[in-house]
Amino acid sequence: MARVALLDDYQGVALRLADWKSLPAGTEVQVFQDHLADEHALAARLADFDIIMALRERTPFPRTLLDRLPKLKLLITAGMRNASIDMKAAAERGVLVCGTAGLPYPTAELAWALILSLARRIPAEDRATREGRWQTSVGLGLNGKTLGVLGLGTLGSRVARVGRAFEMEVLAWSQNLTAERAAAADAMLVAKDDLLARSDFVSIHLVLSERTRGLIGARELGLMKRSAYLINTSRGPIVDEAALMRALGDGTIAGAGLDTFDEEPLPLDHPFRRLPNIVITPHLGYVTEETYRIFYGHAVEDVRAYLTGAPVRVLHP
C-alpha cells in the first residue's frame, strides 16, 4: 500500500479537483491544509509517506529534510520547476521527482489586479465605503502612463500586451532580451536603470536565480520616481525586502503590490502588514481553479504512472 501526502492545500480543494479514487486499490491519500515550517516537525509528519506532493515552493525539500524521509520514493511538484527542492540530493537518495503542467496566464492577470488596485486605491476605498466614508482618495489613470516590465518571458509578455491595451508606454528589460523580442511583445527594450527611472509602474516577471536574487535593492529603488509603484508577483527575494520597506516608509516610491515574500506564509508581525501604501496578497498568482485542476489532475497521473512502473513528467537535476 502506498501512502500519499498532499501538502499546503490551504483551500481544501485537492480531493475535489482530481480523481484520487482512481488510484490503485489500497493507496492512501492524506491532505494537510496547514503549513509546517519547522523541519523537525515536518520530518516527523512525513516520515511514513512513500509519495509526497509539494504545492509549488510552499514547503522546501532541502537535503537535510530528504535525509530524514527514509520511505520517500516519489516527490511531486506542482509545475515543472521547483527551486526549493534539492534535486541532486533527491537523485542521490533514489527519490524520483515528477512535475505537472500549469497555465501561463493567471499570474499575469493577478499582476494587473495589483496594478489596478494601486492605481485606483481599491482596497482603501472598499474599506472606507464599508466604514461609512465616501470617496476618500483620488486615483490614477493608466492611459499615457509608463509600464516597465522586468522579464519579458511568457508572463511578462502577457503583462506588456495588456499595458498596450491600456494605451500605456511599455518598456522592457532582462539580461538576454533583444530589441526584436521586445518589439514582438509591443514593448521597447531599454537599460534596466532607464526603465526604473522612467516607469510609473514596474512589474517583475523574472525567475529567481543567483543572477536575480536582490536585483532590486536600495540603489534601484532610489532610481524610481517618488510617484511610482513596484509590483512583484515572481519571487520575494528578487527584491531586497529590507530596502523595499525603507523605500515604502520614507516615500522613496509611492507604493507596492506584492504577492510574494521572503518568508511564506507572511509572519503575523511582519511590517508589510502595517504599511498603508501597499497591496499584499498571499502568493495567489497561480491560485485559480483552472490551475489547480491541472496540478492535482496531473499529480494523480504521476502517482498512477509511478505505481505502474512507467513514470511521467520526470524532472532531473
The angle at the Cα of 287, spanning 182 to 154, to the nearest 5 degrees, equals: 15
CB 98 within 8 A of CB 120: no
SS3 274: coil
- Please count the other Cβ atoms lying within 10 Å of the Cβ belonging to residue 301: 18
Q: How far apart are CA 119 and CA 308, in angstroms?
A: 52
User: Which one is catalytic: 235, 241, 293, 298?
Assistant: 235
Which of 283, 298, 304, 316 does the annotation list as catalytic? 283
> Strand, helix or coil at 149?
strand
Neighbours of 190 (CB within 10 A): 19
181 has catalytic annotation: no
The CA distance from 302 to 291, in Å, is 16
**Residues 75/59, Cβ–Cβ less than 8 Å:** no
Residue 40 is a catalytic residue:
no
- Catalytic-residue membership of 92: no
Report the C-alpha dihedral over residues 85, 88, 93, 97, rounded to 10 degrees: 50
Q: Whose CA is closest to 99, among 285, 290, 298?
A: 298
Alpha-carbon 201 to chain mean position: 19
Indicate the residue type of 117. S
Active-site residue identified among 57, 220, 264, 301: 264
Asked if 186 contacts 208 with a C-beta cutoff of 8 angstroms, the reply is no
- Among residues 184, 250, 243, the alpha carbon closest in space to that of 218 is found at 243
> Catalytic site residues?
235, 264, 283
